[in-house]
Amino acid sequence: MSENVTTLINESPCAQPGGGGPLTYDFDRSEFWRSIPLWRDVDSKTFGDFRWQQRNSVTSIPGIKEALCELASSALISDIEAGLLKTPMNIRLTPYIFSRIHWENFENDPIRRQFLPLGSQFVPDHPQVMDDSLAEDVDKATPHLTHRYPDKALFLPITLCPVYCSFCTRSRVVGGSTAVKSKSAYGAKSKEWDSTFEYIRNHPDLEDIVISGGDALLLRPDQIRQIGRNLLQIPTVRRIRFATKGLAIMPMKFTSDNEWVKALDDVCRLGREKMKEVALHTHFNTDREISSWTSEAMKVLSDTGVRVRNQSVLISGVNDAFDCLHYTTKKLSSLLIQPYYLYLHDMVPGCDHLRTTVREAEYLSNRLQGAIAGFNTPRVVCDAPGGGGKREISSYTLYDQEIGVSAWTSPTAKPNEIFYYYDPINKLPEDGRVIWSKHGEIKRRLAKFKSDAESKAEATRT
């Protein structure tokens, strides 16, 4: 085991209780938001109202200063200002997630790290990062539908989210323009969705439809019904899933927005009548995002019968340690949230300080297997850049750890193509970093690697 990996294991940012023995699952019942000066006098009823959460979301530097008052040191503010000049994502945090940050340790806090960029923590982008790393736009069948796999499609009806994550894979379209990225916003235009329903109707191979964005949490109740009914009425569609980070960043949506929950409940009922699955896919990265508000939300969702699964991203300094992943996975499972995927961070701009290497992901995958019941063990995957789709983390064709490049094939989605993932240069061994600094040397090394990968892939095909 390398020293680097050992360090990561010992420095878990999670709040897992130590000491061995059976794990206990504590769900924070304290009024933790009162540690934020602006919300010192906010009572539980107000804090638990989704409208209040939306109205009081923190979206700017003045908003951060106003919320933190004396806790907002000039060093913190100038570091965030410097970060905003480098990131493709704007600031948006709900009061819930803002107050889950331990501000006394903001530099290393795993929640702050996901939502608020610090200029001092950025590293230069890898030369191979791409705006549309997963080539979703290339596989577009309608303006709002990506169709890559034979039986599954990705419906993107909205570009808005209740929070903006620094690591977002759709930073090219989600969350408004920033100093380094201009975007055209379209929100959620339900009149434009008919061509998507029509396309799905005309492609009977499509059984699974993912409804993502943006975030399905910001779809209106009538839009949830419109999408749910239209899709479930198509005889060949068997399963639909709404993707939302809501449970992790605004769980009170599910306990206080009765209309929205009723719409989801109606869609679930229709699904049961038709023997079709309706699922909600959410996105927790650490156990710090889980509190008693989450367990209350899950009680409400359990009543609807919706199946809830979790898709995480492996993020450096957030959850790239075995004990953190293990505890978060177990804690989610205890709430009937099934851990589903753990993604290697996509190769998108402004994120190299957050990415990990394939080697680290592979190590963590090996540790997780056997530590948790199989059906609650997340599949650790690389979403192969360029549109190869999700590949098991150990299924690469070839991997050169020194220069951090791995080759992947995708025989079903894109036969005859090879996809390359590049580890962040700052995580490579010294020799690898030196090679990347020499243009001619890295060019030769990559050419040799790609030639070897092609030979190996060809041998596997025949």
List residues near ligand SF4 by CB under 6 A. 161, 163-165, 168, 170, 174-175, 213-215, 245
Residue with smaller CB distance to ligand SF4, 218 or 261: 218
Least Å distance, CB 255 to ligand SF4, is 20
Q: Which is nearer to ligand SF4, 176 or 429 (CB)?
A: 176
Q: How far is the CB of 316 from ligand SF4 (least distance, A)?
A: 16
Residue 279 CA to residue 192 CA, distance in Å, equals 24
Comparing CB distances to ligand SF4, the nearer of 161 and 358 is: 161
**How near is the Cβ of 154 to ligand SF4 at its closest, in Å?**
12
CB of 170 to ligand SF4, least distance (A): 5
Rounded Cα–Cα distance for residues 157 and 222 (Å): 13
Minimum Å distance from CB 159 to ligand SF4? Answer: 8
In the complex with ligand SF4, the residue whose CB is nearer, 168 or 413, is: 168
Give residue 407's Cα distance to chain centre.
Answer: 23
Q: Strand pairing partners for 407? A: 398, 420
**Residue number, 155 or 449, with CB nearest to ligand SF4:** 155
Least distance in Å: CB of 72 to ligand SF4? 24
Which residues does residue 314 pair with via DSSP β-bridges, in sequence order? 344
| Token couple for 174 | 């989600």
* Residue number with CB closer to ligand SF4 (382 or 425): 382
Exposed/middle/buried for residue 430 (C-beta within 10 Å: 0-12, 13-18, 19+): exposed
Please state, in angstroms and rounded to a whole number, the distance separating the CA atoms of residues 156 and 187: 10
Whichever of 89 and 332 has its CB closer to ligand SF4, that residue is: 89
Helix ranges restricted to H, 133-203: 194-201
d(CA 243, CA 96) in angstroms, rounded, equals 19
Other CB atoms within 10 A of residue 177 CB: 12
How far is Cα 219 from Cα 175, in angstroms, rounded to an integer?
15
- The least CB distance from residue 110 to ligand SF4, in Å, is 15
Q: How far apart are CA 270 and CA 275, in angstroms?
A: 9
